[in-house]
Amino acid sequence: MSEPKSFRRTHLDGHLLHPSTQMMSYGYDASMSEGAVKPPVFLTSTFVFKSAEEGADFFDVVAGRKPAPQDGGAGGLVYSRFNHPNTEIVEDRLALFDGAERALVTSSGMAAIAAVFLTHCRPGDAIVHYSPLYGGTETLLGKVMTGWGIKPIPFVDGLSDSMLLYALEKAARHGPVRIVYLETPANPTNALIDLKMVRRVVDEWSSVSGQTPIIVCDNTMLGPVFQNPIRHGVDICVYSMTKYIGGHSDLIAGGITGSAALLKPIRQSRSAFGFQLDPHSSWMLARSMETLTLRMERAAETGVKVADWLASNSPIPCKILHPLHSKNAAEREVYARQCSGPGSTFSMVVADDRALAFRIVNGLQLFKLAVSLGGTESLVCHPASTTHSGVPADARARAGVTEGLIRLSVGLEHPDDLIADLRIALDKAARG
């Protein structure tokens, strides 16, 4: 392999560069764009070939008939549904940050998940999945994929190898198990899955069953700053890049990271289905990723302060579902091993009473009542009536998504202001 080009430099002489540094420059060569320090927005749908031979060559690569060049790029630019410079900058940076060989960017988080499922599953297959998942994923698995003859089998304890094994065996009775699908920390309960355990159980089961499901993990909540599941044995990560990575609540995007071999067919699907992200959003994402580390670190710090305050001062008794407030020793051990920070999305659980929960969320002023998370502005949502309302009531109950569960996404505001907002709303709600 030739010396990496300077715009894909990973070291300064012997010094390994941090991802937070690389988000400003990796994957972009200013000298190819008039010296512009920032990448232009390439608002183009198509790219001119230098010759017919070059066009044929580039098509062979995007169609998967020839391997991509070895320098880490995705081959020549053809048409913006296949590949695009603004998208590739984001993909290079996401892969680097996640410790993955490759990344793909999609038009939404759901497009990323759908692209993985539609690439790696066929009618008659089964998917083993953790529950609860983000409501949209639960809907895709439970209502859409079932229509394609793909059977979802849930498991609800991410720390227990016997429950996972039970789910694998149960799923295998329906058909080949292609995917083990995870989301950790869980949305909105913050329950953790032990990724190393999942890798081990799946490997052990594979050696017995002869089946080799791909382990896919939704890393939206902590990644790529606080958790890199690929380093813990996961094969593919999916992201809603709308959340922390986009970080400003002003774009919709998704991402996939993993090995070149696993992502190659997903790239083909993305092109075939048209799940690509537009150039403008890609450019905005690159801009967002420059501050990703700062935003996630600050929001996490503030989130801990808010969670601590709620745990000890809330005028309405509540349980805090925050990784640092977990009472489960096994979960705390997993957190210490697997995560380098708690993120800033967590839940407070008051009595199982919709009216009380609504009084609290309606009383908040700085926390805006809206779905989504991971933006600079703090948001609050009531999952049972919104993001998770499509999940059957018994599944919601099993997962602990009660009427009293309120999810907070803590942003970049001053912690004292957020605490004041909560104090005022909780005092008011307590008075009835």
Partner 1 sequence: MSAPLPNRDRLATRLIHAGQSPDPLTGAVITPVYTSTTFVQDGIGRNRGYDYTRSGNPTRLVLEACLADLENAGAAFAFPSGLSAAATALELLPAGSRILAHTDVYGGIHRLLADVRTHTAGHQVRFVDFSDSAALEQAAESGADMLWFETPSNPLLRIVDLAAVAHIAKRIGAISVCDSTFASPCGQLPLDFGIDVVMHSATKFLAGHSDLLGGVLAVSAEAPEALTARVRYLQNALGAVMCPIDCALLLRSLKTLSVRVDRQAANAAILAQHLAANAQALGLSEVIYPGLASHPGHAVAARQMENFGALISLKLTGGLERVERVLSSTRLFQFAVSLGGVESLIQHPASLTHAVIPQDQRAITGIGDDLIRLSVGIEDAGDLLADLLNALT
Asked if 120 contacts 148 with a C-beta cutoff of 8 angstroms, the reply is no
Q: Which of 3, 35, 210, 329 binds partner 1 (CB under 8 A)?
A: 35
Q: Which of 93, 295, 322, 388 binds partner 1 (CB under 8 A)?
A: 295
- Please say which residue, 24 or 159, places its beta carbon nearer to partner 1: 24
Residue with tokens 């927005």: 41
Which residues, at least 6 apart from 48, have a Cβ–Cβ distance to it below 8 Å? Answer: none
Burial label, 302 (beta-carbon count in 10 A; 0-12, 13-18, 19+) = buried
Alpha helices, DSSP H, located in 129-259: 135-139, 161-172, 195-209
Min CB(29)–partner 1 separation in Å: 12
- Among 51-59, 92-100, 180-188, 376-384, which window interacts with partner 1 (CB under 8 A)? 376-384
Q: Measured between alpha carbons, how far is 421 from 54 in angstroms, rounded to an integer? A: 60
Is 25 among the residues that bind partner 1 (CB under 8 A)? yes
Among 173, 231, 354, 414, binds partner 1 (CB under 8 A): 414
15: exposed, middle or buried (Cβ count in 10 Å: 0-12, 13-18, 19+):
exposed
* Site membership for partner 1, residue 376 (CB under 8 A): yes
Among 294, 311, 324, 430, binds partner 1 (CB under 8 A): 294
Site residues for partner 1, 258-287, by CB under 8 A, read 287
Least distance between partner 1 and beta carbon 92 (Å): 16
Stretch that binds partner 1, among 92-100, 138-146, 345-353, 367-375 (CB under 8 A): 367-375
Q: By CB under 8 A, is residue 151 in contact with partner 1? A: no
The reply to whether 120 sits near partner 1 by the rule CB under 8 A is no
Q: Which is nearer to partner 1, 195 or 379 (CB)?
A: 379
Residue placing its CB nearer to partner 1 in the complex, 66 or 414: 414
Q: Using CB under 8 A, which of the segments 86-94, 217-225, 269-277, 371-379 binds partner 1? A: 371-379
User: Nearest CA to 168 among 224, 137, 212?
Assistant: 212
- Which residues are bridge partners to 105 per DSSP? 255
Quick one: residue 113, left, alpha or beta (phi over 0 = left, psi -120 to 50 = alpha)? alpha
Provide the 3-class DSSP secondary structure of residue 432: coil
Stretch that binds partner 1, among 50-58, 191-199, 223-231, 407-415 (CB under 8 A): 407-415
Query: Residue 30 CB, nearest distance to partner 1 (Å)?
Result: 7
How distant, in Å, are the alpha carbons of 169, 216, 317 from that of 205?
A: 9, 16, 43
Distance CA 93, CA 81 (A): 20
Provide DSSP, 46-77. B---SSHHHHHHHHHHHTTSSPPPTTS---S-
329 binds partner 1 (CB under 8 A): no
* Contact flag: residue 416 with partner 1 (CB under 8 A): yes
Residue 426 binding partner 1, by CB under 8 A: no
Q: Which two tokens stand for residue 35?
A: 């010296």
Q: Which of 1, 37, 48, 52 binds partner 1 (CB under 8 A)?
A: 37
Structure tokens at 317: 């008794």
Q: Tell me: does residue 243 bind partner 1 (CB under 8 A).
A: no
Determine, following the binding rule CB under 8 A, whether residue 291 of this chain makes contact with partner 1.
yes
Contact 162, 168 (CB under 8 A): no
Closest-CA residue to 289 (of 12, 8, 11, 27): 27
Q: Which span sits near partner 1 by CB under 8 A: 44-52, 55-63, 174-182, 247-255?
A: 247-255
Which listed residue (5, 18, 66, 143) binds partner 1 by CB under 8 A?
18
How near is the Cβ of 87 to partner 1 at its closest, in Å? Answer: 17
The Cα 144–Cα 12 span in angstroms is: 48
Residue ranges in contact with partner 1 by CB under 8 A: 6, 9, 12-13, 15, 17-18, 20-21, 24-25, 30, 35, 37-38, 248-250, 287, 290-291, 293-295, 298, 365-366, 368, 370, 375-377, 379, 411-414, 416-418, 420-421, 424, 427
